[in-house]
């Protein structure tokens, strides 16, 4: 059983082939970051046009790398949402078109489900049930995962997603797009004791999150000082420390509240080293385990979509003949 996966929800075109027995056979990614960088953020129309150009060549590339012909493919999984509608439509049409031509099912996949299953691409795989911390550019949430398709959102961001807060703070520090990795790099030069940012919503019960205040705090801090490179590095570090400690506190609370002993971390901000270290220390104290995807599978990629398609296909999911593209799609609505 082999599934071809196609990801095109935002600014990365990702394609991969996964085999039920042999695991990931091939994967390829084309990032549009350089094109959007000059605008300081993703330009939706440019993203759609670039997916049109890149997806088919990427499909040809992964088919050749895996030594596959269309007869070897059991189904085609594609990201049906959430994301930019134009970008989603390109991937959906491509997947549906190929599925019709090859006579196989096309399986719409939820982008965040792809992220939260991504640690299962690794040799050390989490077993169900687990707690998932999803931290991407568009979403931040804590989810109880009992099995594929059964997701209970325990808490989520009331305003900016964590990745969005990283990007906005990076922007006001004059760093390029996407700002998360650039901010993390600058934070390495920071003085750990200079500024202390708040830990939002940790002083009250519950698992919801809020990050827009941190960006404002960074702005106000910057306004009071000269703004040298060292000043900016100190702010970057204080911001990163605040985000990490807030997420560690919320994960500890969620682990204790649910009694779950496995924590899965996924989404672009899951690539952040300070966060990975903070959560690794937490699970030692809590006698739990943590599972991360490798860094390249934290951010958007086709492998996680192929994997989600495979797990769903094995659970009996066959999609239907409609073309599906849902810019907004609550995770809790998913079933099999």
* Residues that bind ligand KG4 in the complex, under the rule CB under 6 A: 10, 136-138, 163, 166-167, 178-181, 184, 267-269, 271-272, 299-300
Residue number with CB closer to Zn ion (133 or 235): 133
Closest distance between ligand KG4 and the C-beta of residue 300, in Å? Answer: 4
Residue 187 binding partner per list Zn ion, ligand KG4, none, with a CB distance cut-off of 5 to 8 Å that depends on partner kind:
none
Residue 271 binding partner per list Zn ion, ligand KG4, none, with a CB distance cut-off of 5 to 8 Å that depends on partner kind:
ligand KG4
Residue 50 binding partner per list Zn ion, ligand KG4, none, with a CB distance cut-off of 5 to 8 Å that depends on partner kind:
none
Residue number with CB closer to ligand KG4 (2 or 110): 110
Residue 180 binding partner per list ligand KG4, Zn ion, none, with a CB distance cut-off of 5 to 8 Å that depends on partner kind:
ligand KG4
Closest distance between ligand KG4 and the C-beta of residue 268, in Å? Answer: 2
Closest distance between ligand KG4 and the C-beta of residue 316, in Å? Answer: 27
Residue number with CB closer to ligand KG4 (60 or 296): 296
Residue number with CB closer to ligand KG4 (26 or 272): 272
Residues that bind Zn ion (CB under 5 A): 136, 300
How many CA atoms does the CB half-sphere of 167 hold within 13 Å?
17
Closest distance between ligand KG4 and the C-beta of residue 125, in Å? Answer: 20
The residue of the chain with the least Cβ separation from ligand KG4 equals 268
Residue number with CB closer to ligand KG4 (63 or 121): 121
- Give CB contacts under 8 A, 24+ apart, made by 175-180: 176/37, 177/33, 177/36, 177/37, 177/39, 177/40, 177/41, 178/33, 178/137, 180/137, 180/268, 180/269, 180/271, 180/272
């Amino acid at each position: 059983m082999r599934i071809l996966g196609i990801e095109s929800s935002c600014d990365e075109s990702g394609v991969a082939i996964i085999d039920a027995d042999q695991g990931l056979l091939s994967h390829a990614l084309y990032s549009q970051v350089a094109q959007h960088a000059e605008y300081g953020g993703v330009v939706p129309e440019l993203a759609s046009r670039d997916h049109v150009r890149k997806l088919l060549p990427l499909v040809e590339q992964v088919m050749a790398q895996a030594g596959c012909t269309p007869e070897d493919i059991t189904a085609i999984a594609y990201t049906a949402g959430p994301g930019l509608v134009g970008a989603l439509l390109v991937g959906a049409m491509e997947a549906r078109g190929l599925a019709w031509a090859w006579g196989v099912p096309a399986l719409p996949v939820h982008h965040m489900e792809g992220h939260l299953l991504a640690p299962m691409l690794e040799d050390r795989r989490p077993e169900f049930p687990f707690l998932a911390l999803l931290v991407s550019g568009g979403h931040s949430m804590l989810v109880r995962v009992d099995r594929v398709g059964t997701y209970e959102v325990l808490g989520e961001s009331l305003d900016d997603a964590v990745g969005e807060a990283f990007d906005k703070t990076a922007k006001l520090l004059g760093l390029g797009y996407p700002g998360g990795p650039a901010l993390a790099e600058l934070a390495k030069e920071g003085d750990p004791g200079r500024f202390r940012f708040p830990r939002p919503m940790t002083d009250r019960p519950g698992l919801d999150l809020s990050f827009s205040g941190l960006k404002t705090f960074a702005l106000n801090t910057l306004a009071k000082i000269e703004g040298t490179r060292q000043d900016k590095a100190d702010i970057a570090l204080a911001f990163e420390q605040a985000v990490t400690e807030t997420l560690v506190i919320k994960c500890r609370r969620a682990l204790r509240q649910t009694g779950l002993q496995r924590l899965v971390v996924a989404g672009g901000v899951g690539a952040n080293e300070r966060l990975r270290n903070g959560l690794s220390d937490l699970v030692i104290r809590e006698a739990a385990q943590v599972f991360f995807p490798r860094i390249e599978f934290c951010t958007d990629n086709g492998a996680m979509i192929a994997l989600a398609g495979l797990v769903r296909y094995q659970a009996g999911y066959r999609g239907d003949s409609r073309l599906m593209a849902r810019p907004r799609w609550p995770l809790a609505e998913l079933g099999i």
